[in-house]
């Protein structure tokens, strides 16, 4: 126990400073995503606090940061708009439909954890991962460009002249501090100090630049000031609990749950690689689901893992659950007691931090390896990056996995081989190499010459495996063709699993399977195939 406490206490300073930096970076993100979803800023901030706290304590990946995200907000905006249209003007019924949807979303995510579906993240190929981080880096970069706009005559327009140069100057200063400080002293929290230095210059110099407060007011918000999240007891008074409501919110809940889990598990994988440790994907599903259920009941917009803030945390030295807890609690402290001070933080400082996250997130090595990896992997990498930017993360990852799976199936379909020879007793032997599955059946069938083969035929599967129902059906049809031609066929060296599958599919096949095998290679191969 002493060793356990000592190891965590040794990293406490880094966790605390990193958590403070993440809390500052969370504010404009949560507020911006609330505006995207069409809900008040505090709904986004409450989500960032509650989801961040719960997943930090109970999640499967210490050091990973969760909160309100843009991937979910772009789906929520339609839900909120349609919900508002169902009620009277000014009733904000869409907000309550959002809370109900987030609760259902959380239930779906918890079920994914209960049924251990998180393990399927292992099926995501490395090119998909690289495409994911590249696409997300571009999305983060593009999301920050909106910060270079200000309100003129009620409309948001691009900055020009002195305003633009001042903004660029402070963004550059923030990035320079974050780049240069670790070269002088690696123990100092560069992101936090960069924000403090730039904020001090702006506040003490009385400079007129965009701040967190002006950003919120430009979006129609009233500021960060708020109380503790309260239980939304009137959700079920506002939202009728019937099949019509379920048909309305159900599809949104499924989409949000899928996007949230994919983004969370992909971020978990990325953090695993950065820290060279391994998180628990099923536990993360449970934590994300539980957090969204509680968030829905207490007036938050829901959320999932945030790759940008997670990387800020990891790069800042945050490794344990303490960093996420500090970030969440600090964010609540800002809302309750320090809203006036935080509203004075220049947007340029936070944009500079996020630009450094973009630089650190993008897999620059992908340019170097594009011409060194298989063309199919290069296509997957580029496709996932592009789809992440133009559509969303869920579509990009699913498309990348499907493309990779199809390429894998096609390549294995071409690799089935058959070595043919005739024994002294006149028996023709077909030794099969490769996996027999739906993709390789046509090539497998083409190896046999039923019409011209001798009366005795032996099919040897010592170097092969029968993988699916399509393969079983192909074998059954082949046996029938030989029997219809009046010829005897035997099948050797099938694994025990394959034998059980074949006999279960057709008891007739039991008559052609040779079970008594004295070849020592068979027992080795059977163990390997298990």
Does residue 123 sit in the same domain as residue 165?
yes
pLDDT of residue 471: 87
Residues 33 and 166 in one domain: yes
* 461 and 355, same domain (yes or no): no
Please indicate, yes or no, whether residues 369 and 433 belong to a single structural domain of this protein: no
Q: What domain range is 15 assigned to?
A: 10-385
The residue from 330, 364, 385 where one domain ends is: 385
Residue 391 lies in a domain: no
DSSP string, 468-503: SHHHHHHHHHHHHHHHHTT-EEEEE---HHHHHHHH
In a domain, 405, yes or no: no
Same domain for 433 and 359 = no
Asked, for residue 395, whether it belongs to a domain, the answer is no
* Pair 349, 436 in one domain: no
pLDDT at 69: 85
**How many CA atoms are closer than 13 Å to the CA of 174, on its beta-carbon side?**
28
Asked whether residue 282 is assigned to any structural domain, the reply reads yes
Of the candidates 231, 238, 318, 232, the one whose C-alpha atom is nearest the C-alpha of residue 271 is: 318
The answer to whether residue 398 sits within a structural domain is no
At 7 the pLDDT is 54
Claim to verify: residue 348 and residue 220 sit in the same structural domain: yes
- Is the CB of residue 124 less than 8 Å from the CB of residue 398? no
Domain boundary among 385, 403, 424: 385
Q: What is the DSSP letter of 433?
A: E
Judge if 371 and 425 occupy the same domain.
no
Per the domain annotation, does 401 fall within a domain? no
CA–CA separation, 401 and 407 (whole Å): 10
Q: 3-state DSSP call for residue 379? A: helix
Tell whether 393 is covered by a domain.
no
pLDDT at res. 453? 92
One digit per residue, pLDDT tens: the chain, 530 residues?
A: 454 455 556 678 889 999 998 998 888 778 878 877 888 888 999 999 999 999 999 999 999 999 988 778 878 988 998 998 887 777 789 999 999 999 999 999 999 999 998 877 777 788 888 888 888 788 878 878 888 888 787 788 899 998 899 999 999 999 999 899 888 877 777 878 888 899 999 999 989 888 888 877 776 666 777 889 999 988 888 898 899 999 999 999 998 998 899 889 988 988 988 888 888 999 999 999 999 999 999 999 999 998 888 988 998 889 899 999 999 999 999 889 888 888 888 989 888 888 887 888 788 888 888 888 888 889 999 998 898 888 777 788 888 888 988 888 888 888 888 999 999 889 999 999 988 888 999 999 999 999 999 999 999 988 888 888 888 888 888 988 998 999 999 988 887 777 887 788 777 777 888 875 554 444 444 444 44
Q: Phi first, then psi: give them for residue 35, nearest 5 degrees.
A: -65, -40
Q: Is residue 290 part of a domain?
A: yes
Q: Are residues 365 and 420 in the same domain?
A: no
Report pLDDT for 301: 93
CA distance linking residue 190 with residue 110, whole number of Å: 37
Residues 92 and 160 in one domain: yes
Q: Are 420 and 453 in contact (CB under 8 A)?
A: no
- The pLDDT of residue 525 is 43
At CA 183, angle to CA 177 and CA 188, rounded to 5?
65
Q: Examine the fold and report which residue of 342, 364, 385 is the final residue of a domain before the chain moves on.
A: 385
Structural domains in the chain (count): 2
Indicate whether 200 and 277 sit together in one domain. Answer: yes
What's the pLDDT at 2? 53
User: Looking at the structure, do residues 379 and 445 belong to the same domain, yes or no?
Assistant: no
Structure confidence at residue 521 (pLDDT): 46
What is the CATH number for 464?
3.30.750.24
């Amino acid at each position: 126990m002493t060793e356990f406490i000592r190891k965590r206490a040794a990293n406490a300073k880094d966790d605390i400073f990193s958590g403070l930096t993440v809390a500052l970076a969370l504010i404009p993100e949560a507020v911006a995503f609330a505006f995207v979803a069409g809900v008040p800023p505090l709904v986004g901030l409450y989500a960032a606090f509650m989801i961040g706290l719960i997943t930090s304590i109970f999640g499967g990946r210490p050091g990973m940061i969760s909160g309100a995200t843009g991937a979910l907000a772009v789906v929520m905006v339609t839900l909120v708009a349609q919900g508002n249209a169902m009620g009277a003007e000014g009733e904000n019924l869409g907000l309550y439909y959002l809370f109900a949807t987030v609760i259902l979303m959380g239930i779906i995510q918890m079920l994914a954890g209960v049924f251990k579906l998180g393990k399927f993240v292992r099926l995501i190929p490395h090119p998909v991962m690289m495409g994911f981080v590249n696409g997300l880096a571009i999305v983060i970069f593009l999301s920050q460009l909106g910060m270079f706009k200000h309100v003129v005559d009620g409309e948001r327009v691009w900055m020009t002249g002195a305003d633009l140069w001042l903004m660029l100057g402070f963004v550059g200063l923030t990035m320079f501090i974050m780049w240069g400080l670790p070269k002088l002293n690696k123990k100092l929290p560069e992101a936090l100090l960069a924000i403090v230095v730039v904020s001090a210059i702006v506040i003490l110099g009385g400079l007129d630049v965009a701040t967190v407060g002006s950003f919120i007011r430009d979006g129609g918000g009233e500021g960060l000031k708020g109380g503790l999240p309260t239980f939304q007891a009137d959700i079920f008074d506002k939202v009728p609990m019937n099949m019509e409501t379920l048909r309305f919110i159900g599809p949104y809940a499924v989409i949000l749950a899928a996007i949230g889990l994919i983004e969370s598990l992909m971020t978990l994988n990325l953090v695993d690689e950065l820290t060279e440790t391994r998180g628990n994907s099923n536990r993360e599903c449970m934590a994300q689901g539980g957090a969204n259920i509680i968030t829905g009941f207490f007036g938050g917009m829901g959320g999932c893992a945030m790759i940008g803030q997670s990387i800020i945390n990891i790069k800042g030295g945050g490794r344990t659950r303490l960093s996420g807890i500090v970030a969440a609690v600090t964010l609540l402290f800002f809302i309750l007691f320090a809203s006036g001070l935080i509203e004075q933080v220049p947007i340029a400082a936070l944009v500079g931090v996020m630009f450094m996250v973009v630089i650190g997130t993008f897999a620059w090595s992908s340019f170097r390896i594009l011409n060194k990896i298989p063309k199919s992997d290069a296509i997957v990498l580029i496709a996932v990056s592009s789809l992440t930017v133009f559509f969303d993360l869920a579509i990009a990852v699913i498309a990348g996995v499907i493309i990779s799976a199809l390429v894998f199936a096609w390549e294995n379909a071409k690799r089935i081989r058959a070595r043919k020879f005739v024994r002294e007793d006149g028996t023709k032997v077909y030794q099969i190499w490769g996996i027999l599955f739906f993709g390789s059946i046509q090539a497998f069938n083409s190896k046999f010459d039923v019409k011209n083969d001798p009366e005795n035929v032996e099919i040897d599967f010592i170097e092969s495996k029968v993988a699916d129902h399509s393969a079983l059906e192909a074998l059954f049809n082949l046996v029938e063709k030989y029997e219809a031609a009046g010829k005897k066929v035997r099948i050797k060296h099938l694994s025990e699993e394959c034998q059980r599958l074949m006999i279960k599919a057709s008891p007739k096949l039991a008559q052609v399977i040779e079970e008594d095998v004295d070849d020592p290679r068979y027992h080795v191969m059977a163990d390997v195939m298990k």
